[in-house]
Structure 1
Amino acid sequence: MYNSVPLQQHALMSQYPSYYVKPVFKKDVQEEMIKSGEAQKLAHVPTRAALNDQTSSVYHDDIINVLINYVMKDGRKVLARELVEKTLEKIKRLQLERYHKATNIEDKNKIELNPRVIVHKAILNGKPLLQLSPIKRGGVKYQVPVPITDKRSQFLSMKWIIEAGNEKDRNTRFYDQLAVELIDAFNNTGRVVKRKQELHKQCEANRAYAHYRWS
């Protein structure tokens, strides 16, 4: 007897029924839910199993995990994770070297030693606010500046950082160059920030076509 369910519906099916809720694996979110009383409501509700990259460890970082996924090629996630970990280690070494070379206490206090903070700030500094979108009007394509979503903006920032890390000499390791680019972006300098500023300048030059967004 053949299964009467179409193949397309099989592709949309999940191993969990629709009433199963997603797991809450972050400790800070769990603590907030306990304080607000929401955790008690979910005590007896069926919950889905957490994914293999979802953990309550204090070392878990969503931004770092996304960066690892963008660095990964051909499904080699172990290699991508090692490259990002070596990048964080290199950032720590470079910042410590600058810290020990600084003679003034005020200069030392200005140097950020946490590589995770540097990565977060670098990605934030590289995020564009606008992008050019081709819109056809009267048989002519115009490059129209449009606002960009936060997810797309973060993707472009990480993409530019990785591309800048790949633009290196043959004798330079990828994670060494990536660490330098992240530190430059953290200080609001470097190729990534320059690329963002160039995109904003192009959007400013094409602002006369901005009204085509709504027409």
Structure 2
Amino acid sequence: GHSYFARLSIFRYILGIILPVIKIVMAASTVGSSVLRVKNVFSRKLCSVYTTPVRTSIYSKMYVDPIPDKTKLEELKASGEAEHLRFVPVKATPSDVTTSVFYDATLHKFINLLMRKGEKALARENIELALFNVKRIQLAKYNRATDEERSQIECNPLTILHKALENCRPVMELSPIKRGGITYQVPVPITQNRSRFLSMKWMIDAVNDKDQKVRFYDQLAKELLDAYKNQGRVVKKKHELHKQCEANKAYAHYRWS
């Protein structure tokens, strides 16, 4: 009987030593996991704030873009700026750049943006047919007009394309910025390239949102003529974006805070 109670007391003594140690270990592991979670969250927040995606280039900042346009070269020579550019390294000319009088950079960009799955010939054909329809519509209007009205009618489809895309270009857009657990739509200015991209993208999206019975190039011709007159769905979308930027101008300081 005495040995039983002796063993029981020893067991209780050992258990009294082990249980606090187990509690300390469990508490330490809980604190460690919490610290690790806080560290991971802080790292993600820090990376989202201080890292910016950058498109790298094989050329340094001292390299300048090539100027294949002969007219611009003549202007540089006349202004004297060409003497400075003679000793500046120049980037390699892209393979799709040409000095042909038929080359149009905006049209080429529009074709590339419209292309899907590498079918560039199909994209070029659709845009050429759309420009042909624009030319046909404007010529019909020109022939019906009086001599006074004809001077106001533009028949060059490339000029209409440039003017239409220019009328669709936004100057600002909304950027989601998170502050205090809340995501704000902050108005920010955009670059010329971004503005040109959005105008072309909106134009393509508006043309794709059409009736199935209407051909793509017919709808594209209609949207180009509407945008040329500063009307249509794409111009309306630009104005709506500018109104949203105006409504959210109170959040503009979140760009720097």
TM over 0.5: yes
Distance change in 2, residues 1:52/1:78 (3 Å): farther
Secondary structure in 1 matching 2:151 = helix
TM-score w.r.t. structure 1 length?
0.82
* Pairing 1:20-99 to 2, within 5 Å after superposition: 23-35=66-78, 36=80, 38=82, 42=86, 50-99=93-142
Structure 2 Cα separation of the partners of residues 40 and 202 of structure 1: 45
TM-fit CA distance, 1:92:
0.4
Matched, 1:193 2:235: yes
Structure 2 Cα separation of the partners of residues 40 and 124 of structure 1: 32
Structure number with higher helix proportion: 2
* Pairing 1:30-179 to 2, within 5 Å after superposition: 30-35=73-78, 36=80, 38=82, 42=86, 50-102=93-145, 104-179=146-221
Which residue identity is paired with 2:70?
A: K
Whether the 8 Å CA contact 1:122–1:188 is kept in 2: the answer is yes
Contiguous gaps of at least 5 residues in structure 1: 1-10
Secondary structure in 2 matching 1:188 = coil
Between the two structures, name the one with larger relative contact order (CA 8 Å, sep ≥ 6): 1
Distance change in 2, residues 1:13/1:139 (3 Å): closer
Output one character per residue of 1:59-106: Cα deviation in whole Å (capped at 9) or x when no partner.
11111110001111111111111111111111101111111222x323
Output one character per residue of 1:113-140: Cα deviation in whole Å (capped at 9) or x when no partner.
1111111111110011111111111111
TM-fit CA distance, 1:107:
2.1
Q: Looking at CA atoms only, which structure, 1 or 2, has the larger radius of gyration?
A: 2
Output one character per residue of 1:123-159: Cα deviation in whole Å (capped at 9) or x when no partner.
1100111111111111111111111111111111000
Whether the 8 Å CA contact 1:144–1:213 is kept in 2: the answer is yes
Q: How many residues get paired? A: 200
Distance change in 2, residues 1:100/1:135 (3 Å): same
Output one character per residue of 1:25-57: Cα deviation in whole Å (capped at 9) or x when no partner.
2121232345448379859x9987643321111
Whether the 8 Å CA contact 1:134–1:143 is kept in 2: the answer is yes
TM-fit CA distance, 1:20:
9.4
TM-fit CA distance, 1:186:
0.6
TM-score w.r.t. structure 2 length?
0.69
CA RMSD in angstroms comes to 2.7
Matched, 1:210 2:252: yes
Aligned-pair identity in percent equals 53
